[in-house]
Chains A and B, each alone.
Chain A
Amino acid sequence: MLRAFPRLKKKRDWRLCSPRSDTYQCVAWAACRTDDKWWPLHHPHFYWPPGLPRITPLPNPWLPLPPTPVSYLVQGFATLGYKPCSCREFELWYQKVAIYANDYGATHMARQRFLGRGWISKPGELEDIIHKDLGDIEGDMAPNAGTYGEVNQVLKRSWGCAIKNGCFPRCLGHELKFALFRAWWCLLKLKWKRIPYTAAW
């Protein structure tokens, strides 16, 4: 984790908050889903809301995939009621997600916690992490650097919209699950240790 995000080395206000899982990734997590992977790619290995633009991979995998425009993610999250906003700070009546992008296009998403207590990210197949600022996991903008680049766009929706979409109970469920998980972890004094892989949460 620290090798992937060198800025976290200098900070103490971040922590792991879930077991490792490869059943979902950052975009699905931002959409309050933990049972599938979301990406605007025209391939059956990723889910994306139907009828929205996706990138079409080239037939030859030796060639790199076309870059993922941030606008595709914005359109996908518009179906969940999110709208672009310019403010990264906590606003009481709104739930926020942030889109990271580097020179290659969109790379990652993070979701704000309840009451603005930091952000939760799901980095690939690793554990979920709670970090205080969006800048904690930012990195180089070069496509081959293996980092997320910088925050490109912040989206927000009202909690009323989240309830209407059925996301609110799921978010609350995740918070409770992860709180229980953290308590169990602390009790076992395994807070900072890697736990074995679990196939499904």
Chain B
Amino acid sequence: MPTATAQPRGNLLGSIEARYVDSHPLESVFRHRSLYRKDCAWMKAASFRLREKNHVRHLWQKRKQQWRSITQVLDRMEKSLTLEQRFQEQALKWQRETQHLSSPGQRMMHPSYQAILGMGNENPREIIRLMILDMQQHRRPWFWALSYLAQDNPVSQSDAGKTDNIVKAWVDWGKAQRLL
């Protein structure tokens, strides 16, 4: 930019030349124009940023709506599962993850076992029936949960530890209670 303190060149026209060369009469116009252009650039950038921000917000809202619809569908699916399907799902998981364990405490600590006990609190009679049927078909040891939910234990002391006899005793008990 030309400066206001420009020195004359040494001839008569020096001061005039200096005036025209070093400080242009339209200097203020140029300065304003450059400032205007800078302003325009800033405005452009700001508007771009704003548009970008709005776009991101729009995408985020769209994603939230998608998630909401997915969770609604999952909720509806879960509610539509019958008690028997939920029982089978948890029983399979429990067997898969604890079948290598011998300690009854470790097996009963599993979340699926606790979930099935929870189902039993909602509808004990149906869960007892499902447990006895499951014991017959898959021989999963529901003995402890059964004796709690049924508040009864048909297994005699002489059959202690004998799985076949225990299953038979529970099946007979289920028939006597008209569950099977």
Chain A interface (Cβ within 8 Å of chain B)? 1, 4-5, 22-23, 25-28, 35-39, 41, 43-47, 57, 60-62, 64-68, 104-108, 122-126, 143-144, 146, 197, 199-200
Contacts and interface: CB of A to CB of B under 8 A. Distances in A.
B162 interface: yes
B155 A108 contact: no
Contact of A64 (B101, B109, B157): B109
B133 to A, nearest CB: 17
A159 to B, nearest CB: 26
Contact of B139 (A22, A35, A67, A105): A22
Nearest to B143: A45
Given A4-B100, A124-B98, A124-B99, A65 B143 contact: no
Contacts, number: 105
Given A125-B99, A146-B98, A36 B144 contact: no
A197 B105 CA distance: 25
Contacts of B108: 61, 64-65
A108 B117 contact: no
Given A22-B139, A44-B156, A123 B102 contact: yes
Given A22-B139, A37-B163, A44-B157, A107 B104 contact: no
Nearest to A60: B148
Given A22-B141, A45-B143, A45-B166, A1 B100 contact: yes
Contacts of B139: 22, 197, 199
Given A45-B141, A61-B108, A107-B106, A23 B98 contact: no
A126 B161 contact: no
Contacts of A66: 105
A41 B98 CA distance: 18
A46 B106 CA distance: 15
Contacts of A199: 139, 164
A158 B3 CA distance: 112
14 contacts: A22-B141, A44-B157, A44-B166, A46-B161, A64-B108, A65-B104, A68-B103, A68-B105, A108-B103, A124-B98, A124-B102, A146-B98, A199-B139, A199-B164
Contact of B161 (A45, A123, A125): A45
Which of B102, B145, B153 is packed against the most chain A CB atoms within 10 Å? B102
Contacts of B144: 43, 45, 57, 61
A146 to B, nearest CB: 6
B161 A37 contact: yes
B39 interface: no
A131 to B, nearest CB: 13
